[in-house]
Amino acid sequence: MTFGAAASLTNHASNYIIMSTPSLFSPAKSAPTSHKPMNPRTKKRIQLIKTPKNPTFEPLKDRLIRLSNVGQIQEAISILGIMTQQHQLTPDLTVFSILLKSCIRTRNFELGKLVHLKLNQSGIKLDSIVLNSLITLYSKCGDWVTAKTIFDSMGDDRLRDLVSWSAIISCFAHNGMESQALLTFVEMLRHGEHPNQFCFSAVIQACCNGDKAWIGEVIFGFVIKTGYFELDVCVGCALIDLFAKGFRDLVSAKKVFDKMPERNSVTWTLLITRYAQLGHHEDGIELFLSMLLCGFVPDRFTLSSVVSACAELGFVSVGRQLHSWVIKLGLCSDVCVGCSLVDMYAKCATTEPMEDARKLFERMPDHNVMSWTAIITGHVQSGGLDTTAIELYCKMITQGDVLPNHFTYSSLLKACASLSNLQVGKQIHNHAVKSGLGSVNCVGNSLISMYSRSGSMEDAQMAFEVLLEKNLVSYNAILEGYAKTASSGDAFKIFNQFEETGVDSFTFASLLSAAASVGAVGKGEEIHARLVKSGLDSNQRVCNALISMYSRCGDIEAAARVFSKMEQRNVISWTSIIISFAKHGMATRALEKFDQMLNAGMKPNEVTYIAVLSACSHVGMVSEGLKHFNAMYHEHNVSPKMEHYACVVDLLGRSGSLDKALDMIKSMPFKADALVWRTLLGACQVHGNTELGKLAAKMITGQDPDDPAAYILLSNLYASKGQWEEVVKIRKTMKERKLVKEAGCSWVEAENQTHKFYVGDTCHPRSHEIYKELDELVMDIKKLGYVPDTDFVLHDLDEKEKEGYLVQHSEKIAVAFGLISMSKTKPIRVFKNLRVCGDCHTAMKYVSVARGREIVVRDSNRFHHFKNGSCSCNDYW
Ligand SMILES: [Zn+2]
Ligand SMILES: [Zn+2]
């Protein structure tokens, strides 16, 4: 959710109502006698008394008018009570009319209804002025039925005038009954009334929503002919809305604005807000500057619009200047402006996330649900501060005077999703249900995401099913859940369920990632074809997902084609293509793209740098990598995180500079985590450094004693050195701790089906053919010089057994299957859940020669392209 200008403008009204209700006093208390039916004789007496001037009447009336003019309506109404009860006076229509108008002006609608009640009890015959005010009152309450009843009753008494018509047209226009408004306008013309400025602006307002905009244009012609355009600001404002909202045409809206003979702060603010709402933030800010130059003073709405524009653009310095304006204008305590500022600091925070927002929030004198939600959402959106967001929520509910709304819950559930904290997630789910917001769409959608991201697809499915109104977001959330948990089959099933009702770019992005996670390039291509058909294939989000899908499925050239055809690229597009080249070991192309990205003026982010650094480490470009690592903070203000250090440790370690890698770990500004040490241990294995390897393994198991990866890496390291006793010791420890190595498995996609193989797997229906092919293959590649590398196999087997064991590796079975089942023109793409082993890597090179086939292997770390006897990784992996 954004707390943008749109939200602040539409919310402020309802907010105001909420804020003013507590001051409402009970009608029963104030007018105890008025509930008795009016005695006709009393009524007569009152009228009799009224005619000769009562000396107390005029001063009381004066006081009442004064009070209602300054907005002290409750006090004014109590004088009404004094008049009728203490002095048996009947207030006249002027008094009621003034009271009603003040109620409308200050949006005290409930008090307005009370005045109406008293008016009915007084028995005075109402005139057009009062009746018109009553129409407006009920229109603003949203009670168009009562407004219409009053309007209809006026017809019988011939009390309708132009103001009544305008009021009822405006009532329909503002209560979602645009057609009724237009019909009433026509009826009014038939009655021979000539519309004035108020009438025109009401009817134009009725045309501001999409399909009726063309009628608005007709009325625009009418307005120009009658000359009201030059005459009135209201008409101009309505026309700005007609073009901005009805046609989404800001150029014409601006033309109307430029032609307006007179402008005020309201007009300026209106235009600025519309620019912001349509995403033209920069133009909005520019307009704001012109507004200041023309000498207009911004109000709380202007400022919150422009602050929101800064938030969207990341213009924190402009935002800060606006903050000082806010202070200057004394609007600091305004909740609406405060919310926009909190939101702006939250979104623009770079170095110290949320610090400014937090300070501002703490300084705000009052908090409402919007400011609490803004600060909580800010923490969730800034990333990595989810725990603080939940702490803030606890503070909010313990203070107890503000109740969370559906946006608050939605943000909190997002925090739980990021933390994968199912327990807290369930508690918040409970709170939302208790407050009756559990089935509100946006809460339900966040619930689905929370459960699916916490790995509980069952709960996610349940949340999905109980959702009353499923929309596209709900479908996308559940689809994304299945896509991420690699149940791509379920993901496609869900897709088939709602494809008819309409899908969007999010749907396709999820589906593409489902296809990518299992490497189903066939499915991916099928989705691509549908995208072309639906015209979504040039959508930025979709293109980004396509790049990643093709690259993860092993077709890097297809990924490059999608990227080159893109018209508008954002930081994700650039990062995706860089990461794709990096994973495929094409460091030069990755770095070329990075240079182009900088030249295009795009600012790299943390993920871009992970891509750049891993591109360098995959090919051993040490100095280049270090250069980028130093530049990332100094030139691009991106602070290195754990992942970046892990990349550099990998870069140094794999190139053989193990000591430098260790120095790097020691110089880190935070404590190295298991990932960093695992990277170093991997490098130790490559270079056979047992001493450092032992240290790294100790550091990993110190942090996570049940991490099988550390034991396996260390055991491999000892095995490669022939230190078999150590290997046996490690295996024993693993057994004691009941740690199992993740079973290696490989899969290939053939004819839109995924075929999965484990070590020595004989479950496949064609397994007889597969093993026959595998035997022949091994014989053929041995002739070409392949020698099985039995180093990594346990020493208690004889050579023949060791060889047999190696041959049964899942990636070899997968390749044999690919050879017998796939078209000879396409490369064989194999996917493996772990890293490819050294022997299989060598064997694949020979297979590419023996069978003249290109083989692409995606392992847990990167891609290997085997062609004509060599691998794209140049054996650097
Ligand atoms: Zn292998
Ligand atoms: Zn390779």
Q: Using only C-alpha atoms, what is the Rg of the chain?
A: 36
Residue listed under structure tokens 């602070």: 639
Check residue 664 and give its pLDDT: 93
Residue listed under structure tokens 């402006």: 337
The SS3 of residue 786 is coil
β pairing state of 855-858 and 863-867: antiparallel
* Contact status, residue 112 vs residue 150, Cβ threshold 8 Å: no
Check residue 25 and give its pLDDT: 31
Helix axes 265-277, 300-313, angle to 10 degrees: 30
* Contact status, residue 444 vs residue 409, Cβ threshold 8 Å: no
CATH class of the domain comprising 660-741: mainly alpha
Check residue 31 and give its pLDDT: 35
Give the distance (Å) from ligand 2 centre to CA of residue 858. Answer: 10
- Rounded CA-CA distance 571/789 in Å is 44
Write the DSSP string, 264-277: -HHHHHHHHHHHHH
- Least Cα distance to 680 among 669, 692, 667 occurs for 692
* Contact status, residue 827 vs residue 519, Cβ threshold 8 Å: no
Exposure class string for 707-746: b at 16+ Cβ within 10 A, else e: bebbbbbbbbbbbbbeeeebbeebeeebeeeebeeeebbb
β pairing state of 855-858 and 828-832: parallel
Give the angle 248-254-256 at the CA atoms, nearest 5°. Answer: 100
The SS3 of residue 151 is helix
- Rounded CA-CA distance 273/303 in Å is 10
* Contact status, residue 410 vs residue 446, Cβ threshold 8 Å: yes
* Contact status, residue 554 vs residue 827, Cβ threshold 8 Å: yes
Domain boundaries, the chain: 31-125, 144-262, 482-568, 569-640, 660-741, 749-871
Check residue 819 and give its pLDDT: 93
Give the distance (Å) from ligand 2 centre to CA of residue 576. Answer: 22
Check residue 135 and give its pLDDT: 93
Q: Which ligand is nearest to the CA of 856?
A: 2
Check residue 300 and give its pLDDT: 86
Mean pLDDT by 10 residues, the chain (877 residues): 36 32 32 39 43 68 84 83 78 86 88 89 86 92 90 83 92 88 91 87 85 85 80 84 87 88 87 88 90 88 89 84 84 79 77 75 81 86 83 88 88 89 90 86 88 85 83 81 71 73 79 80 86 86 93 92 93 95 92 95 92 92 94 90 93 93 92 90 88 90 83 84 85 85 85 85 90 93 89 65 81 93 88 88 94 91 91 84
| Residue 642, both tokens | 């754990």
Check residue 544 and give its pLDDT: 94
The SS3 of residue 669 is coil
**Which strand (E) or helix (H) includes residue 280?**
none
Check residue 548 and give its pLDDT: 93
Based on the number of CB atoms within 10 Å of its own CB, is 427 exposed (0-12), middle (13-18) or buried (19 or more)?
middle
φ, ψ of residue 754 to 5 degrees: the values are -95, 130
Check residue 32 and give its pLDDT: 35
Query: Which residues keep their CB under 5 angstroms from ion ligand 2?
Result: 864, 871, 873
- Rounded CA-CA distance 140/11 in Å is 15
Give the distance (Å) from ligand 2 centre to CA of residue 495. Answer: 36
The SS3 of residue 858 is strand
Check residue 493 and give its pLDDT: 76
Give the distance (Å) from ligand 2 centre to CA of residue 211. Answer: 59
Give the distance (Å) from ligand 2 centre to CA of residue 641. Answer: 28
Residues recorded for the chain: 877
Residue listed under structure tokens 């484990």: 758
φ, ψ of residue 127 to 5 degrees: the values are -105, 175
Check residue 276 and give its pLDDT: 86
Give the distance (Å) from ligand 2 centre to CA of residue 582. Answer: 13
* Contact status, residue 700 vs residue 731, Cβ threshold 8 Å: no
Alpha helices in 3-108 (DSSP H): 5-20, 27-30, 40-50, 57-69, 73-81, 93-105
Give the distance (Å) from ligand 1 centre to CA of residue 831. Answer: 13
Query: Which residues keep their CB under 5 angstroms from ion ligand 1?
Result: 809, 837, 840
Q: Which ligand is nearest to the CA of 869?
A: 2
Q: Which ligand is nearest to the CA of 866?
A: 2
Q: Which ligand is nearest to the CA of 867?
A: 2
